[in-house]
Homo-oligomer: A and B are copies of this chain.
Amino acid sequence: MSIYRVGVIGLGTVGSGVVRLLRERREAIRSTTGADLELSVVADIDQGRAQALGLSEGLFVNDAEQVLARQDLDLVVELIGGLEPARFIVRQALATGRSVVTANKHLLAESYPELLAAAREGGADLYFEAAVAGGIPILKSMREGLAANDIQAVVGIVNGTCNYILTEMSKRGEQFDNVLAEAQRAGYAEESPELDVGGHDSAHKLAVLATLAFQRLYSLRDIYVEGIERVTPADIGYAAEMGYVIKLLAIGRRFDAGVELRVHPTLLRTYHPLAAVDGVFNAVVVETDTAGRLMFYGRGAGQDPTASAVVADIIDAATRRGKARSTVADLRAGEVCSMEQLTARYFIRFNAADRYRVLGTIATELGQHRVSIQQVIQMEKRPDGVVPVVMFTHPALEADVQRAIKLIDANDFILEPTALIRVSADDE
């Protein structure tokens, strides 16, 4: 097989890992896969990064445009992240016939159709395994390994920062703020953690997963998003007593009426395959009509796992050369179910004053909204005088639950806003 020429744009953590793999493994990759990958050019605004990698002067340019200008490249790796200039670079490379590998979930969640159009225009291919769940080959598995299946659901833990924080809160009974601060000091969480802890990063990945799984276009606007900021160690403890753990899940599920797309903290039975996924690990459950339920588990972030996924994509591109497996044939927007239509069981914690008739009033209001209580635990009074009333409902309509809680929260015996966490169906 002839030499396959690769340009890498962006020498951050992942880019540096990719450059190192390409240099150290060229011969091993050639002998096992037949792909002879040449690192032809590397671009970054900071030449110091290239020097740190021991790259020769001739390989380095400090301007992405110079990579795009190289007519001899077969493929461009975009690892600068963010929307611009990443979008321009990817579109330009594709439209001029260079295949692209990217890890940029934000860009994909925003601009997938536009990028795919550029790829068709240029006769090039777009690969993005590293954009979702780092080192886990989940996109390839869905697209190729499960190609004979109808996928009915994808449910994943796809943000390692959130999963690390929830795991630590659960193990040590520590508050969210404290664990987040620790995670930031340890480098597991960004200085500006909103994208992670607010659930938005998971939503980017869900948009990509859902588009591949359900073969229609789904974007960020289609996804209900709730982060983990308001999860308390007390709720984790109540959940544990009832045989549940709390995880931030990205959930995509197909129904006749459309697809449910949501990211929020979720109570999972301890025996659910995702319940044991702890720390910075990621995992994605895929439910299919033919192969049944599968789970893919591994490291969702970090230099080496992400670089592993990027290089696997490069090898795929090199060995397929113009025979890339198509991804989504029909990019019309898919139908989406509104959150109000969701039917689920709910974990609800009311924070009430220690008075008579509190439970009666709550139960009556819920009942009037067709929300039936499966189990209620009136907890001991906290030192600050608040009595947490924790309950699990039977399956109920989200709209009904939200309306009932709003009315209940208007009572003067409710001392703090009510906490609501959705419970995963036992079989999902």
Contacts and interface: CB of A to CB of B under 8 A. Distances in A.
B146 A137 contact: yes
A9 to B, nearest CB: 19
Interface string A126-170: 000100001111001100111111100000000000000000000
Interface in A390-412: none
A315 interface: yes
Q: Which of A137, A283, A304 has the most CB of B within 10 A?
A: A137
B296 A294 contact: yes
A294 B316 CA distance: 20
Interface string A278-306: 10000100001011111111110010110
Nearest to A33: B147
A290 B21 contact: yes
A32 interface: yes
B294 A135 contact: yes
A247 to B, nearest CB: 14
A353 interface: no
A290 B321 CA distance: 25
A267 interface: no
Contact of A304 (B34, B144, B291, B319): B291
A304 B291 CA distance: 6
A248 interface: no
Nearest to A271: B276
B288 A292 contact: no
B305 A298 contact: no
A19 to B, nearest CB: 12
B273 A307 contact: no
A297 B295 contact: yes
Interface string A188-230: 0000000000000000000000000001000000000000000
Contacts of A328: 32
Contacts of A315: 144, 147-148
A322 B29 CA distance: 19
A56 interface: no
Q: Which of A291, A293, A312 has the most CB of B within 10 A?
A: A291
A25 interface: yes
B297 A32 contact: no
A123 to B, nearest CB: 14
A381 interface: no
A271 B277 CA distance: 10
A325 B319 contact: yes
A223 B292 CA distance: 31
Contacts of A146: 137, 308, 312
Interface string A16-33: 000001000100110111
Q: Which of A29, A215, A271, A305 has the most CB of B within 10 A?
A: A305
Nearest to A31: B329
Given A141-B140, A141-B141, A320-B320, A29 B148 contact: yes
B305 A291 contact: yes
Contacts of A312: 144-148
B298 A291 contact: yes
B148 A307 contact: yes
14 contacts: A32-B147, A32-B328, A33-B325, A34-B326, A135-B288, A144-B315, A144-B316, A145-B309, A146-B308, A291-B298, A292-B304, A293-B299, A319-B325, A320-B323
Interface of A: 21, 25, 28-29, 31-34, 129, 134-137, 140-141, 144-150, 215, 271, 273, 276, 278, 283, 288, 290-299, 302, 304-305, 307-309, 311-312, 315-316, 319-321, 323, 325-326, 328-330
Closest 3 CB pairs of A and B: A137-B145, A135-B291, A294-B298
